Amino acid sequence: MGEFELISRYFHAPFANFPNVERLIETGIGDDCAVLAPLTGRLVISTDTCVSGSHFPADASAEMVAARSLGSSVSDLAAMGAEPVGFTLALTLPNINEAWLQAFGSQLHESASAWRIPLIGGDTTKGPLTVTVTVFGRVQDQCLYRHGASPGEDVWVSGFLGDAAAALPLLERPRASLTPLERQLYQRYESPQPRLKLGSKLRGIATAAIDVSDGLVADLMHICSASSCGALIDEDAIPLSSALLATFSQQDALSYALKGGDDYELCFTAPQSARNLIQSLSADVALSRIGILRRESGIAMRKHGEEVKLMSKGGYDHFKENSVT
């Protein structure tokens, strides 16, 4: 099978499912470039590369590679408050394995349909399995940046934290051996759910936002650095799923939630006066108020009224004691 047949068989799909963007895309796959009609508002763009053996296990299923590559990139759009417009796919394959391509292509289209983001172009080359996704989105008014937060504002997080990181050790086990609770954790890693609706509703309410891809503390630190402030987090307010708490000790669960990445929840800040408004947005996903921003730099956690410093500008300060090996 040649490159062109491969593209038309596995990657070419009509835009009929995407009435939101159909009229923006004048030409998709098939010409030298995709052609988009000029957008009103702002165009936001993000690109991410996933390399086999480093961003996903070398023996990961094709479905997992597709869902995670696209999901993690679409999550960046959610974190900006953007609406998806389209994405390109640069795919490097070691060989042409039709069963793999079939599974990858159909999961990619399933995820793309769920998030209403059409594939508008790409490139296909031979080499070690590598997937680069570039997402394009638009924001009609103002974007959610990492800067813009101020001392005194609340820190919020969507959903539950730590599940995806806790699933990493499970990836090596046969699927059939997992308990239903372990399977729930596994699913959080396998198919991230970008918080597109939430991100878009937070425009004009949140003062700063980021998606949690590297771990709550590391990602909140990005907001703090960009906004020139620090944060005090309440340990008891960190949202931990019942699946995580049933599978690990409280201490390990908390450590996964603070340090573990791959959850793709949104962490955002907002004035205290917006508390009721934000609670009213929690129909699709739970929202937890986990702490407060302050002038003093770095991130500290409050536990039984006592403060423990977790991260300063130089990096982690206090994770060794809590760490999960």
5 vs 123, which CB is nearer to ligand ADP? 123
| Binding partner of 7, given ligand ADP, Mg ion, none, CB within 5-8 angstroms per partner class | ligand ADP
93 vs 167, which CB is nearer to Mg ion? 93
120 vs 155, which CB is nearer to Mg ion? 120
- By CB neighbour count within 10 A (0-12 exposed, 13-18 middle, 19+ buried), where does 2 fall? exposed
Q: Is 3 in the site for Mg ion (CB under 5 A)?
A: no
CB of 144 to ligand ADP, least distance (A): 29
- Cα–Cα dist 157/220, whole Å: 10
Question: What ranges make up the beta strands (E) of the chain?
Answer: 25-27, 35-36, 42-51, 83-93, 119-126, 130-139, 154-158, 208-211, 230-234, 266-270, 287-294, 298-303, 306-312, 315-316
123 vs 307, which CB is nearer to ligand ADP? 123
Binding segment (CB under 5 A) for Mg ion, from list 123-131, 138-146, 164-172, 177-185: 123-131
126 vs 175, which CB is nearer to Mg ion? 126
Binding-site size, ligand ADP (CB under 6 A)? 14
98 vs 123, which CB is nearer to Mg ion? 123
Structure tokens, 309: 């410093």
Q: How many CA atoms lie within 13 A of 93 on its CB side?
A: 16
CB of 52 to Mg ion, least distance (A): 21
DSSP 8-state symbol, 219: H
Binding segment (CB under 6 A) for ligand ADP, from list 24-32, 183-191, 235-243, 253-261: 24-32
CB of 9 to Mg ion, least distance (A): 17
Q: How many residues does the chain have?
A: 325
CB of 83 to ligand ADP, least distance (A): 21
Binding segment (CB under 6 A) for ligand ADP, from list 27-35, 132-140, 219-227, 307-315: 27-35
27 vs 142, which CB is nearer to ligand ADP? 27
Binding segment (CB under 5 A) for Mg ion, from list 104-112, 115-123, 133-141, 248-256: 115-123
Q: Is 123 in the site for Mg ion (CB under 5 A)?
A: yes
Residues within window 98-137 making contact with ligand ADP, judged by CB under 6 A: 119, 121-124
- Cα–Cα dist 263/173, whole Å: 20
Label residues 14-44 b or e (16+ Cβ within 10 Å = b). ebeebeebeebbeebbeeeebebeeeeeeeb
Q: Is 29 in the site for ligand ADP (CB under 6 A)?
A: yes
11 vs 145, which CB is nearer to ligand ADP? 11
Name the maximum alpha-carbon separation found in the chain.
Answer: 65
- Cα–Cα dist 132/55, whole Å: 11
Binding-site size, Mg ion (CB under 5 A)? 1
- Cα–Cα dist 136/84, whole Å: 6
- Footprint on this chain of ligand ADP (rule: CB under 6 A): 3, 7, 11, 29-32, 89, 91, 119, 121-124
